[in-house]
């Protein structure tokens, strides 16, 4: 994740002067100012632990799943087409610089923050040989009079202008053909408020969590006296000086003007910000280490994980799968049953109990053979393991073959 953010930031610095997608005003200039007065950009928003955790959870989970090219055959059977050139691109080697996990992490993070993910398509002999990611802030998209979509971006001092055939574009939630809706744009006020709360909390720690006040004097201070007062203020700032006795002399008088430390902790405000951010990213708070409200979510963490996979991850998976099928496969290949598949069964790899229960149920139903299960576990086949088996309980007693 850190490498992806560094890449995003590095490219963003090079492309700072590029114009943004037509409806997302302000992104190309480094972000937008929210109602709380804080600048919201990818750097500032990822500085919020809740945004970092939500974006990291989604992009990390999605990018870690195997992305395969499969052929849908008779009875809906899906066979992995490992010899097809596109399979190597999406499954293992998208470009010279990145692994598949790096590439899809970049693309998924772009989707979560900007609502769009772009990649320059490389071809050789008519076959797709690579996908090179493009920073969303660099991209300018428009519809031409011909009906085609034009993509324009600058990179390493060079301007690129290509049509939709040569740019892989995954659109996020909502939006239209020119682009999806940006979380940074529509969540700007929530993120700005959270940043303001973080800034205020940091300020309290910086000032020692002590009530601020006014040091008053009966007479105007001379320059030398003002220097002395400035040094006094410096000596009593910072958390290391909390509780240090204040010495008033020379007519100085301290007047407290702020609220008490107990009222200034902002704990409830910061907790509410975390829950608001989780709503924007559709992540149960428990999955990012936040307890949240016990009545707002299922009490079982397992149920929260199931809800996250069923209702939130599945839509993201289908969006990417359909984009690959529509944009990276020819009409003839689609007609032949080729499609991209993100294998969500891999989510069971970290849960041995659920995986064992799944295998047991599928084998008892005759849906999976012993050798098919062994293949999923990376084990060699065994003799007789290719025959489907079924449980025979609850059969009539007359069919047991036993005499009464």
Q: Which residue stretches of the chain have pLDDT < 50?
A: 3-29, 209, 211, 261-264, 404
With a CB cutoff of 8 Å and minimum separation 6, the contacts of 91 are: 66, 67, 68, 69, 100
The per-residue pLDDT for 14 is 38
**193 within 8 A of 35, measured Cβ to Cβ:** yes
Cβ proximity of 283 and 58 under 8 Å: yes
pLDDT of residue 204: 57
Query: Residue 223: what pLDDT?
Result: 75
pLDDT at residue 331 in the model: 93
Q: Domain ranges in the chain?
A: 2-192+269-321, 213-261, 352-404
- pLDDT at residue 388, rounded to an integer: 80
Distance CA 373, CA 358 (A): 10
Q: Which contacts qualify for 219-227: CB closer than 8 Å, 24 or more apart?
A: 219/251, 225/250
| Residue 139 to residue 162: CA distance in whole angstroms | 11
Global pTM?
A: 0.67
Which of 168, 178, 148, 40 lies closest to 103 in space, CA to CA?
Answer: 168
User: Which pLDDT does position 130 carry in this prediction?
Assistant: 95
The token duo for 12 is: 């963003």
Q: How many CB atoms lie within 10 A of CB 328?
A: 19
Q: Burial, 277: exposed, middle or buried (Cβ in 10 Å; 0-12, 13-18, 19+)?
A: buried
Angle between helices 188-206 and 267-281 (to 10 degrees): 150
């Amino acid at each position: 994740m850190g490498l992806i953010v560094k890449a995003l930031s590095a490219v963003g610095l090079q492309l700072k002067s590029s114009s943004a997608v037509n409806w997302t005003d302000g992104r190309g200039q480094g972000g937008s100012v929210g109602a709380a007065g804080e600048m919201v950009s990818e750097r500032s928003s990822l500085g919020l632990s809740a945004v970092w955790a939500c974006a990291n959870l989604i992009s990390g989970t999605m990018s870690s799943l195997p992305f395969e090219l499969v052929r849908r055959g008779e009875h809906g059977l899906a066979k992995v087409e490992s010899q097809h050139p596109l399979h190597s691109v999406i499954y293992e080697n998208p470009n010279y610089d990145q692994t598949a996990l790096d590439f899809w992490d970049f693309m998924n993070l772009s989707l979560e923050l900007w609502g769009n993910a772009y990649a320059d398509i490389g071809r050789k002999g008519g076959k797709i040989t690579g996908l090179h990611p493009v920073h969303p802030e660099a991209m300018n998209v428009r519809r031409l009079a011909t009906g085609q979509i034009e993509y324009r971006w600058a990179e390493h001092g060079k301007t690129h202008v290509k049509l939709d055939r040569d740019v892989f574009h995954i659109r996020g939630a909502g939006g239209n053909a020119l682009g999806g809706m940006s979380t940074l744009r529509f969540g700007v006020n929530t993120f700005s408020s959270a940043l303001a709360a973080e800034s205020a909390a940091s300020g309290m720690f910086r000032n020692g969590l002590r009530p601020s006040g006014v040091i008053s004097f009966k007479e105007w201070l001379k320059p030398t006296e003002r220097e002395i007062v400035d040094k006094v203020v410096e000596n009593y700032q910072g958390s290391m000086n909390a509780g240090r006795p204040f010495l008033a002399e020379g007519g100085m008088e301290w007047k407290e003007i702020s609220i008490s430390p107990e009222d200034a902790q902002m704990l409830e405000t910061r907790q509410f910000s975390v829950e608001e951010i989780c709503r924007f990213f559709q992540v149960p708070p428990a999955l990012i280490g936040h307890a949240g409200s016990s009545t707002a979510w299922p009490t079982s963490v397992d149920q929260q994980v199931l809800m996250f996979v069923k209702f939130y991850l599945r839509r993201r998976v289908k969006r990417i799968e359909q984009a690959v099928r529509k944009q990276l496969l020819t009409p003839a290949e689609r007609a032949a049953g080729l499609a991209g598949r993100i294998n969500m069964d891999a989510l069971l790899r970290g849960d041995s109990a659920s995986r064992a229960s799944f295998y047991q149920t599928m084998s008892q139903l005759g849906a999976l053979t012993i050798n098919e299960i062994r293949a999923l576990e990376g084990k060699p086949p065994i003799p007789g393991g290719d025959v489907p088996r079924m449980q025979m309980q609850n059969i009539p007693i007359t069919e047991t073959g036993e005499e009464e």
